[in-house]
Amino acid sequence: MQRLLYISESHIPETDAQTVVTQIVELAQIKNAKLGLTGALLFTDKYFVQVLEGSQQAIQMLMVRLHTDPRHGNISVVDESPIKCRLFPDWHMAYHGPSRFVSRRVESLLHPTSQSEQRRAADWLTDLTSEFSKMRNLSSLPRSGSIASAA
């Protein structure tokens, strides 16, 4: 099993962002469930940050699709690691956003001054998505639920 963290630039017009991102999340919840993927999405109006967990094959299939998706570009995989357990076992796609606060960390991840800085930023974003998903009582939400955050 793998965990992958990527960042991409949004190509969605700001006026359409809320509607389009909601549609992305709803469709991702269905498709990710079929692929056995779990994870979380952060949206900053300028960037998408997504953590994906599942088989290497399922993650690769999704990444191929994402590279052809016109709603975002400049996809950067910033962390990919084997894992023993999932951070998001109950979420086919938890959604967090929009969040301008996260934008600063995304910038430091895209333009790190060192490998250790990039590692710290990747760990911070992964931990942040995990903490956001724990803020709600998961037992009261559907397995493929959505979390909105104003962080």
Query: What's the rounded Cα separation, in Å, for the pair 113 and 128?
Result: 21
H or E element at residue 23: helix 17-35
**Summary mean pLDDT of the chain:** 79
Query: Range with the lowest mean pLDDT among 3-7, 49-53, 72-76, 96-100?
Result: 96-100
pLDDT tens digits, 63-97: 999 999 999 899 999 889 999 999 878 777 767 55
* pTM (two decimals): 0.71
CA 124 and chain centroid, separation: 13
Partners of residue 3 on adjacent β-strands: 53, 81
Fold observed for domain 2-140? Alpha-Beta Plaits (3.30.70)
pLDDT tens digits, 105-143: 677 667 767 788 777 777 877 777 776 666 543 333 333
Residue ranges per domain, the chain?
2-140
